[in-house]
Structure 1
Amino acid sequence: MASERKGIERRMRELKNDLSAKQKMYKNAELILLDEDADDFIIDNLEDLISKEKTVAEIIEHDAYNHRSIEELKPYLEELEQIICEVEEMISGYYREDIPNDFKEFLEESGVKVSLAPKIGLYESVYYFLKRSLPERPVNPLMASISFPDDAFLIRPDLLSSAGPDSIQAYREKRKNRDMLRDEVTILSLQLEEQQKILEDYAKPSGFYGGLLVLFYASIVGVAYPTTLLPYPSNYYDDVATKWLLITLFISQLVALFVYLTIEIYKMKKQRRYLEQHWKSII
């Protein structure tokens, strides 16, 4: 029993290590998907988020492609708010015609640095939106005949274009990997739980008290009571009633023993069938 207990404890350590590794992988995969979902949500609804004509809850409600909650998107929306404030400060005081359409070119010319460099793509999108809200330079009467095309200062469409087939396929693969890791975490958790139950069963063996009761009964009727008859002469209890009593008591202890064994074997088989069905349902 001691060796089996050590084997179970070793198996539990292995499961805990595997579970810890899979949980880290799952959290990382979930975070990657959350980053992509949040970026897509912000890009798809950037104009509403900047104008604040709708609340975030209203935007989420009307976004058919978003499945993230406000709590999940909150850190990303806070980053967006920071980026909006930075870009507004960068371009304040300029006329629309005075700054280039390309944000990176604007950074080079102005020498301004962004605080969230990994989010440079989002800076560009915000820049193109806010650039449209800048005032136009007053028209010089001598230049009145010069006109600009209507879309000269519109947002670049490539920044807000939908993902191509390759990106969609890559996203699906990431979701598939995330779901697979989640299933593995669930299976490992259940395996660890079952091993813990088995270990607890070793600490509290099933049927222990029942077996102890049967042993106690057998000791009384098979040993203790017959022993009380030894001091008497051999012909003192040499009657049929006493003989039948002793035989009945002996048979009763055998019956108690076999009933106990039958019940315990049935319980063990029932538990084994349950575990087999349980593992099949998990796998």
Structure 2
Amino acid sequence: MTNSNYGTTPPNYTSNPNFDEIFHVIEKRDIVPPVLTVTSPVNDALYTAEKPTLSYTITDDNFKSAWYSIDDGKTKIALNKDGSLPLDLPNGDYTMMIQTEDHFRLTDTKSISFSVNILYVPTVTTEAVTDISETSASAGGNITSDGGADITARGLCWSTNETPTISDNFTNDGTGTGSFTTVMTSLEPNTKYYYRAYATNSVGTGYGPILSFTTQTSDINDLIGNHLLIYPNPADDCVSITLDQEYIADCIVEIYDSSGRLTRSNHFSEGTKLEIDLSGLPAGTYNMIIYKNNKLFSRKIIVY
């Protein structure tokens, strides 16, 4: 039968195609399988300084997909055709599978074994200071992690500078992790110090947070004098004493006449203000004594 449009006999689509000829044509196409190249991690490598990266290239004109897995393919993480990405892996031994596939379902797979054992400086906390005196103070710290290497030294360091290090004053309080307490000595009275705990391993020295304290003064006039208000002075029947809250604990106030006879004795019990009744005292000059921590502060008052 002749087709009027073509003037020829149309193809017989019902007849079986020649598959041998079709496959012959396909075989002649230049189909190149994908090539996966992994430059990192390195097989059998041990990473101790920093965590490895996954760096790779894929040579494939028909690229379809790629993935990697560190759990035998149970969890596959998709990859771009080429790339480099950090591997945030805890210390341990790993076998990584990396695979690429093209549109012809041709694949290239690499299996790489490596280990991660990153060492860090120790992790340290600093404890609050206690038992402050004029020349010493007690404090401590806690070594919560050794960083993967043995602790060879630990203790406190301190300075009048705001960032103390072991180049300044320091104690050496043994080895290992855990808590410790120690005493900072040879301090100056009425001086602000900064301190922190430290610990050292083969990587370096780790420090805790910086804290501060001020040593006790050797002169109670320095301790109380700038924080005390006595009024009125001269006074008639009553005198008021105001002292900052931080100083009132264990403060005793006594008033002596010119002959050294005790005329009044009071202590701060509540609040920061103390009123002392002067009624009945003869006019004259009196000596007010404030006792704190077995030291005394004196001030003259006049009664009229």
Between structures 1 and 2, the one with greater strand share: 2
Which structure has the greater CA radius of gyration?
A: 2
TM bin, normalised by shorter chain, reads under 0.3
Between structures 1 and 2, the one with greater helix share: 1
Q: Which TM-score applies when normalising by structure 2? A: 0.22
